[in-house]
Structure 1
Amino acid sequence: MKPVSIRSKFLLGVISLLMLLGILFIVLIQTIVHDRLVKELQLRGVSIARHFAEVATNPFLTESTILVEMLADDYLETEDDLTYIFAVNQKNEVVAQTFGKTFPTDLLTVNRISSDKPYGIVPLKTEKGLVYDIAVPVMKGELGVVHCGMSADSIKKSIDNITGWTTRIIVCAIILVSLIAVFFARALTRSLQTLAVGAETVGRGNLSHRIQISGRDEVGQLAESFNLMTENLQRTTVSKEYMDRLLNTMHDALVVLSPDHTIQTVNRAFCELLGYSGSELIGKRAGALLFGHKEFLDQEQTTRLAQDGFIEGIEQTYCRKDGQEIPVLASLAKMLDETGSLQGIICAAQDISSLKQTERELQLKSEELEELNQSLEETVQIRTRQLARSNEGLKKEIVERKRAEQELLHAKELAEVANRAKSVFLANMSHEIRTPLNAVIGMADMLRESDMTPEQQEYLGILHRSGLTLLELIRDLLDLTKIEAGRMELETIPFDLEEVIDRTCEMLAVRAHEKGLELTCRIAPDTPMFLQGDPNRLRQVLTNLIGNAIKFTAMGEISLEVKACAVEQGKVEIQFAVADTGIGIPPDKIDTIFDKFSQADSSITRKYGGSGLGLAISKLLLEQMEGRIWVESQIGRGSTFYGAVRLEPQVAPLPDSEFTARSLTGVKALIVDDNANARAITRELLSRWGATTDTAADGDSALAALHTAREAGEPYRLLLMESRLAPMDGIKVMEQLRLQDASLLNGTIMMLCADHPSSDIKRLYELGITTHLMKPLKRRELSQTIAKMLQVPQNAPPPAKQTATTMTQPPLQDMVRILLAEDAEDNRHIFRLFLKNTRFEIDEAENGAIAVEKFKSGSYAMVLMDMQMPIMDGLSATRAIRQLERERALTPIPIIALTAFTSTEDIQNCMAAGCNLHISKPVRKDKLIETIVNTAGGAA
């Protein structure tokens, strides 16, 4: 059989290795790509199901299954890998599906998901291949579950495509590397073949042959060395003188013996070893050199030498001339002539005295090591017994730890039960406190509308402010408890930022004007209004900051400025600044004011009151909304609190009903306000819409500007007049204008403070001024009012809710009956007083059961339902009323929930039971009437 060449072995090894690496690479790529594609497919399915669940929430609430099926069909058409979508309600009944008439009912049981899980994924093998069933609960499972199926066919196609391209690349790489290997193998073996032929030629006796290899690599160096060796062999002649010189140059002791073991030749090293001269050794018997004059070789050694021709590693002991024993290690070889006859024996001896000494030392060390080993074994045995005892102790400790873990788990469960009980207790206490507080604040509101002495008005103001302070304290304590317990859940719903800011300023404007402070608000033009987030918590933060500014400011003004700072990762950062002219904060106290129950100075609590929780809660809320809060302040000059929050813009916001940049082109306006900041904000709004604006700081300047413009033939078409000017207020200015030239009153919009008395409004009505706006001005309210007054078109129709006040007499309408379910007599009395002198008639029920019975026999336009009542609570009563409406095929009437529970979960429970709106206690008169009017229709 022909032997395999080095070149073939090299090529076969390279190709095999490349093929193995290629197969491993293909398998690895398939595994990684498959896992990544499966994960991406599942995540996309979860995203589709979640988005579908969010979009289908309202159809679920209204039980509009047709709308849900339309949404499912739209998703099925737009998503390639989506095979089906179906939705089930709480009873696991299919309310919408995309299978057609034959729905596979086995899908209802393969992927059940509990409400505490965000989603569930189950792989299914179907006739069409592998499908991943993904389930997502709607509103934590309270409305139902959405299932969608994601087909894995695209994954297999992608993997097959990647595998094909990877295989082609690996095959090309194997071919390319094989060609390179062939080239290098051929170059290497060619030189080796040349070297082999030359060695064979020299081996046959042709010492004049030379190998012709010109390279300088290892093969070339080997060929050069081989040629040098051949030259040396060719020049060398076998002579005694040469051999003597050669033997003397060697470091080992060499001696040449005759066949009868007589010394014939020795080298210098042999003479030095034994201490003799060469002449003294030549001719002696070799056995005479051995210690004890023994035979140089015994019978066995002689036989081995005769058979093998050499003997290696014979230990012998030579005797020096001075009598010292020298241990040596000898190697012997026969010298034969051309006929094979024995000519002599050559012996090479190596002094092993140092080795023998090392052996003796090693023997001593071995004996010591043996003793140490025995000692170590005894120590190991002792340690083993100790470890056995420790192991027993460890087992006992493990048992104790497991028992402690069980006790800790039990304690954790008890703590969770206690925490839930605490939350329920706090919620109940909140309701119990807010129920009488509703009567206190409600009575105070009613008394403020009656004729009272200044002293009684002062007492009533203290009562009203104390009630509001107590309400804020209750809210702060509940919020802090929720945050610390990790139960503060933020909503992510679409909202209008401008509406949140306007309502907040409108609510706090009364408090500001009661202290003689001006509250202004400016929103930067490029600030996006339609966002997604938690508007209630954002309003709470703004209320805390503006409320603090009002509390710590004795004179001057409060300003709120809102702008958009940055857009990152699909979110916009909304930054707001609340500046005041109050007492300021010491520099060494700035870092502590955001701590719980902390204020800059202990005397502040005594002078201004407060729990020290507002800023701490605001900081925690902003941090939960990916935001931050900080402050800049100077003692005696005021403070500016900055807040920033990151929110997502709405995908498809509602159209903004506002003027364009040219809507008021050609309109000349005069702004009269004694506050410079308020004048600047109003002027910026009108100028943004294209109006030409002038300003005046007092009534005299306003009168002069009006007459000057009239005489110049360019009268003002629009006049915005502040009602409270000094020294002559805005109403007196209007009275003078009426006496001098009533035509100057045309186009007048009065800007009234939030706490303006009704008597001033009556005076304006008598002057013929039928339009007024409450300060601080709101952009949309101002644009709608100007558009109506000057008949200027806007971009979009105004929203349904009109907040501008037009002084027209309401039409006479029939009485509207309202069913009030409230267990507290004081609160029922408050509601009667609130709706006194209105067209709304109240029918009262002391609990939910009575309310249901009255609903069966009566006819009502709406229901005001308290959630916490004995016998039957508001949630049960609401469900019972909705059930009666379904049984009798009645049109659902509005049900408004009245409760002190203000958490997101509580509000969702009210809506899930069938309520349409939610009003938190204590109920304000204006808020109640506004809600009833907007819900029941008509006017109060």
Structure 2
Amino acid sequence: METNKFVNRYHAVNKNKMILTGLVLAVLSWILASVLDFFLLKNVSFSQVIFNPGPEQIWIRLIVVCLFLIFGSHAQFIIDQRKQAEDALRESENKYKSIIEAIDDGYYEIDLDGNFTFFNDSMCRIMGYSREQMAGMNFEAFKKFYRPGRASNVFEWTFTKKDGTRIIFESSVSLIKNQEGRTIGFRGLLRDVTQHKKEQELEQAKLAAEVANKAKSEFLANMSHEIRTPLNSIIGLIELILETQLTSEQREDLDVVISAAYALLSVINDILDFSKIEAGKLELEYSLFNLRDFLGDSLRIMAAKSHDKGIELAYRVLPDVPDQLTGDPSRLRQVILNLVGNAVKFTDKGEIIVTVRCKEKNDSRACLHFSVHDTGIGIPKEKQDNIFSAFEQADSSISRKFGGTGLGLTISAQLVNLMQGNIQLESEPGRGSVFNFTAWFTVISDGDYAYELLSDIDVSKIKTLVVDDNESNRHIIQEMLESWKMEAHTVPGMIEAREAFAAAEKEKKPFILNIIDSEMPVYDGFLLAEWIRDHSKSQYDNIIMMLTSSKNRNQENLNKLNIKNSVTKPVRPSDLLDAVIKTLNLSKLSGESAQEITEKLPVQDSPLKILVAEDTLFNQKFIFRLLNHRGHQPVIVENGLQVLDILKQESFDLILMDVQMPEMDGFEATIAIREKEKETGLHIPIIAMTAHSMKGDRENCLQAGMDDYVSKPVSSEILFNTIHRLVPKAVVPKIKPEHPVFARSIDKENLMKAFDNDWEFFSECLDMFAEEYPKMLEILREFIEDKDCEGVRRTAHAIKGMMGNFQAYSVANTALTIEEMGRRHDLSQAKQVFDNLVTGIETIENILKNLSERD
């Protein structure tokens, strides 16, 4: 506002000056013209020529006055313009100097001799000198840094300040020219870059160290892989040799060799994972898995070692923990096995219990709390802070009793961190240790699990005796049974069991089922089973033996003791329930209990047209022959897409739907069928063919819209009872009697039930089996060599089902192991297990052929 007033006043004054100048010039020109007329004209007075001139004089004078007025105005205008320009230049210079003085960088101007003509306060501050001292300094050296023709002249130089400090400057230099274009000096900006240079050096050193560390880690990863590959071959070859006829000394020596090989493999695996983490190459993979069965499968890896030391190994998952999760099961298994492996190593007696609780849960995610409790030697307080550091151990002395790399807990801590959790230790010397860790997972199905039974299986009120010397395991088994509403009683040994039997007889409430631990002090489970057999009354017959290892499962010896089924410790809920159902011969008829088992199949009166969706060739032929044998009309397709295609052209009374199929699985196909039925109003009964009798994987069958389900390997009795319930009118021809002669190693009753008590049917399926299994093994071998994990998983799954149909459960478990390797994307041990699978199938083939030849 003040500036505008000043400008307006300035213009007004200039305007008045221009008017005054014009008037002065006009008066002067008039007087000058009058003087000239006075001398030139005759007989006129001076006053007359001034005040009363003639017309001619007036016009001449007016012209002259106008010329002078124009000239004066123009002259005044030029003077004013120059003055304004000078004022603007002066204002611009003042503003420029204010800006220069305000910047943090130093600004300088020097003449051609190198003397300062101008510099700002920042220049003094940076260089550490006062203005007076700076004025007397000469910087002629600046001139040599200027290079004509360059767009930018920037240079660095080192300078010693007044206090002796050496600093690094970054400066620019450019020419100063006068109005004629002649160079009169140099100007530029100057900046202190000492700290920036130090930071750059540190960053470069850091990057160099990281590159070196990464190169080291990558080298370790590559070397570990190269070492592990031949080591796996060594282990596989030794395992093959151990299966041959050897002397006791040879077997003992090879056991030492393979033990050392596994120890070395463990060290290599630790180094490999550690180097991957250090190199930043380890990433989590996400897949669907069932927590409870996953824990059981994982802990069985450590079961043999723990039981060899006389340690009880068990796990417990609380009911509120969701079962179907998405996460990285392979890395979770690695953490658990590291912790359990350490617990086994540092525990000489007692137990190791793995417990899982739900710490936090929302609609889509859950934070699970895992604890591994052991009764081992414990860890001193002073060692606990560093226990998760690399290469640290509770006992690092040369003569320490326990080996290891010291990497297991470090890797576990880093993996837990990747799973967005943390790991902690609680321990006291002589009183054991508890390792706790948390991890986040995506929840697939909501609601409490509680080892829940499917709605149409009723085992409630079945009086069961559990015999186990370990209190924790008794509690875990009891919790499982009671969650199924069974009446569970627990005792620690044979003497207490006999007392329980006596009390049950007295009360006339006998035990229907007995679940016995095979390994107990003084009197083991087999002695108790023998006592039950010798003192058997009908209520004592049903025995499930809990074995410490699947290798101890000799079916012939179990049969001699009337042991109907066995499960391997640590006991998985699904295995125990399957064993209960098979032992009590429970059908899946709605509302059927242990006391209401139906022994005869219903007679029905019309054939059905049945669509069978199954991708495995052997299972296709088996199901086709089984249905055809009952007079039905089966139509076979290989996947869900083919189901949807054929339903557009034909109608069916029933669909048998395999759950796992390529391209489109059974769940997706069922959902698509049910969506289509919303438009048509029709409903086709769908029976799923799946794996277990537990709620978990199979609860998805009901959620997808399936009407019922049967377990694989398919039992003809359960299958046709299920068909009859869904479609009451169906042909069931008379059942042929079973063949009388069987090898003792084959479960005669279960095998014949699987083949509908039809010896001819069994012989035909055996021929199909002999024809198909070599092809399937060759395909599996190629998938393993090509590292095609999905192909391995799918083919091993098919072989598992095929072997299950022949009741060859040990071989089926071997196929299951390979299937799990494919699912985990870890085929490092697949070749060795595949060789065992080939041997097992060939053995089963010989046994089955011997049966066929005895027809």
Q: TM-score, normalised by structure 2?
A: 0.50
| Larger Rg over CA atoms | 1
The two structures have a TM-score, normalised by structure 1, of: 0.46
